[in-house]
Amino acid sequence: MLRVRDGVPTARPDTLTVEEPLEIRVAGKALSITMRTPGDDFDLAAGFLVGEGVVRAASDVHSIRYCAGATADGGNTYNVLDVVLAPGVAPPDASVERNFYTTSSCGLCGKASLDAVRTTVVWPIGDDPFRTDPATLAALPDELRAAQRVFDRTGGLHAAGLFDADGKLLCLREDVGRHNAVDKVVGWATRDGRLPLSGTVLMVSGRASFELVQKAAMAGIPLLAAVSAPSSLAVDLAAELGLTLVGFLRGTSMNVYTRPDRLRLQPS
């Protein structure tokens, strides 16, 4: 590429974030196509199905595999996954199927209806007695940034990190899309038999959208923190579900929009 500074051009190489499509199939039937950063694709598929209410535990998934024959010569692009559900697990309802591909920036594109977005939450996160200190939350953005590997080279990836109440990092995933990074974290926890994720914090590098609140709730996470702003719909859903939603988490400052009782605060 050509870098221009003060009108002076300099040719130099650059490292870019990889973005490729991933088609997720269930029992051979296409469910969704999402633009993602390759890597941890099995976690991405499992986490996606948790968010859709199809999968609740590792035992709900029989197998996940890449589909061969994706190219004209019968090769494998590693961009098509087929998930086989365990016997007795219901396939995705037609109402949650994506009508067209999901972009890396919007996990809700193509939803059949807004009603389908409000997936039934399995875990009663409103009853989770989890509590933590503001100082612990304040340290999470730096912990997340320090653990990011690809961002240091490209500057173009979102991150999602799962932490315990003491701020210990349990899992970190990166992706070009915020929702994909969260799906990868939830999928890791699902495949490792950790659901529900009670007593944990999900930290995301961008804003807090409606869908990220839903994904956290579907995994049983009681607190979602973001370095940027939440949407009004995200706040509404968090309040409805009893999830603690923290936004603008920067330095020692933060905005707590719902369930502030989970933070050990000093008297005002």
Active site residue 171: no
Q: For residue 132, which of 100, 168, 96 has the smallest C-alpha distance?
A: 168
Q: Single out the catalytic residue among 67, 106, 109, 171.
A: 106
Q: Do 42 and 81 form a contact (C-beta atoms < 8 A)? A: yes
Query: How far is it, in rounded angstroms, from Cα 255 to Cα 213?
Result: 16
The span from the CA of 111 to the CA of 51, in Å, is 13
Find the farthest-apart pair of alpha carbons in the chain and give their distance in angstroms, rounded: 68
C-alpha 17/C-alpha 141 separation (Å) is: 21
Distance CA 189, CA 8 (A): 49
Q: What is the C-alpha to C-alpha distance for residues 24 and 67, in angstroms, rounded to an integer?
A: 10
- Measured CA to CA, the distance from residue 52 to residue 171 in angstroms comes to 21
Q: Which residues are catalytic?
A: 106
